[in-house]
Amino acid sequence: MASAAPPAAARALRTVVFVDGVRTPFGKAGKKGIYAETRADDLIVKVIRELLRRHPELPPERVDEVAIAATTQIGDQGLTIGRTAALLAGLPKSVPGFAIDRMCAGAMTAVTTTASGIAFGAYDVAIAGGVEHMGRHPMGEGVDPNPRFLADQLVDTSALVMGQTAENLHDRFPHLTKERADAFAAASQEKYANAVKAGKIGPEFVPVATRSAELSWGLATEDEPPRPGTTVEALAALKTPFRPHGRVTAGNAAGLNDGATGALLADEETARELGLPVGMRLVGYAFAGVEPEVMGVGPVPATEKALARTGLSIDDIGLFEINEAFAVQVLAFLDHFGIADDDPRVNQWGGAIATGHPLASSGVRLMTQLSHQFAERPDVRYGITTMCIGIGMGGTVIWENPHWRGND
């Protein structure tokens, strides 16, 4: 009788660090947007190349995985884009890659998935990011939802229209008024504009050469969606496209956008060995499901779960980067945790209402900004990146500031 195989050696979890993040400037989706004639895969290729350019201390062959998210995995966002983008970016053919989808939290999930592999010891270094070209591939292109969703009343008919889910959130929490949403949106635009003027936003950009049959070649060097000078009075006059006399407008929601993001992740010991910087340490993460028709509330249970699993409380969090899919969604999160609408810890450089929200790419934008904020705030130990996710989910990642000086 053959003897039993010896038990596998126990593995100690390793510390995962966010080394660096970059992104393209975000564009407006549509025929007049800056990326109207630019391929989606070329956007993410630029991001991968920029990460490698900024970190010549990283031998390309040391990259163990490339995970790239896209919500609409079709056309130039299809064909296992993590692998194809890695090849197009010039990484060695020995570097594998894969595609991932969790709608708006695609890049966030690319990070948490590869980070889990690093913690377990399957990878030492990984690239994770996302791309969304909503001009070429509108949300929902080519999908065929199972009719049982409605026939069996599994979800409300509004669940697949994100703007309607935001209106539902206003219904559920009537104290989250349109006036509050408009005020939050105007503040987001102002904070973003101030951050750009102060040089806080911009260093993470990779310029992208753009082509237009009408205008010839150009260079994208700044975000296209922001509307500086937006006032509450102007927002109050906008139409409510998802419901007559509704509360959700183009002004208090993120737009339809194109763009790509990418992050370099590593085991902390490997980062030290290679001389890579440490921007943040991963503390924990969680995803949670909610009723699809009020998907905007998803960050609440996701954050509660992440805090519980890490032994932290909301009072331990010194900085918040919350994706602004809709102003009402952020307000629901803030109200739940007793945080003021204008709390300076929240989205201090503005958010997606200003900069845009190219779906699967946005999670890494949040992380990159938090990492830069940590470098300026040694008094803050913990921060979170969190977002609502279509079809009724939320995702939260908790990070530790490596520059924290303790209680000095």
Per-residue pLDDT reduced to its tens digit, 341-364: 999 999 999 999 999 999 999 999
Judging by beta carbons within 10 Å of its beta carbon (0-12, 13-18, 19+), is residue 153 exposed, middle or buried? exposed
- Percentage helix, strand, coil, to 5, in the chain? 35, 20, 45
Phi-psi category of 80—alpha, beta or left, where left has phi over 0 and alpha has psi -120 to 50?
A: left
pLDDT band for position 3 (cuts 50, 70, 90): low
Looking at the chain, the whole-number percentage of residues with pLDDT higher than 70 is 97
Distance CA 262, CA 374 (A): 18
Query: What is the amino acid identity at position 139?
Result: M
Per-residue pLDDT tens for 137-159?
998 899 999 999 989 999 999 99
Distance CA 176, CA 343 (A): 16
For residue 46, pLDDT over 90 is answered with: yes
Give residues with Cβ within 8 angstroms of 194, minimum separation 6: 350
Per-residue pLDDT tens for 251-278?
999 999 999 999 999 999 999 999 999 9
pTM, two decimals, is 0.96
11 vs 303 pLDDT, higher one = 303
For residue 107, pLDDT over 80 is answered with: yes
Q: What is the pLDDT of residue 213?
A: 83
User: In the block, which residue shows the tokens 């949300």?
Assistant: 139
Lowest mean pLDDT among 5-9, 173-177, 244-248, 314-318: 5-9
Arithmetic mean of pLDDT, 25-32:
96
Per-residue pLDDT tens for 181-219?
999 999 999 999 999 999 999 999 999 999 888 878 999
Yes or no: say if 173 and 254 are a contact pair by the CB < 8 Å rule: no
Arithmetic mean of pLDDT, 292-315:
98
Arithmetic mean of pLDDT, 81-95:
98
Q: What is the pLDDT of residue 125?
A: 98
Element (H, E) at 309: helix 299-310
Arithmetic mean of pLDDT, 292-307:
98
Arithmetic mean of pLDDT, 15-29:
98
Angle between helices 362-376 and 106-120 (to 10 degrees): 70
Yes or no: say if 394 and 288 are a contact pair by the CB < 8 Å rule: yes
CATH of domain 16-135+158-400: 3.40.47.10
For residue 4, pLDDT over 80 is answered with: no
For residue 408, pLDDT over 80 is answered with: no
For residue 25, pLDDT over 90 is answered with: yes
Q: What is the pLDDT of residue 11?
A: 73
Distance CA 400, CA 15 (A): 11
Q: Are strands 382-389 and 393-400 parallel, antiparallel or unpaired?
A: antiparallel
Mean predicted lDDT score pLDDT of the chain: 96
Active site positions, annotated: 104, 357, 388
Task: Show me where the domains of the chain are located.
Answer: 16-135+158-400
Tokens (6 digits) for 408 = 């000095």
CA atoms within 13 A on the CB side of 198: 11
Looking at the chain, the whole-number percentage of residues with pLDDT higher than 90 is 92
Arithmetic mean of pLDDT, 89-117:
98
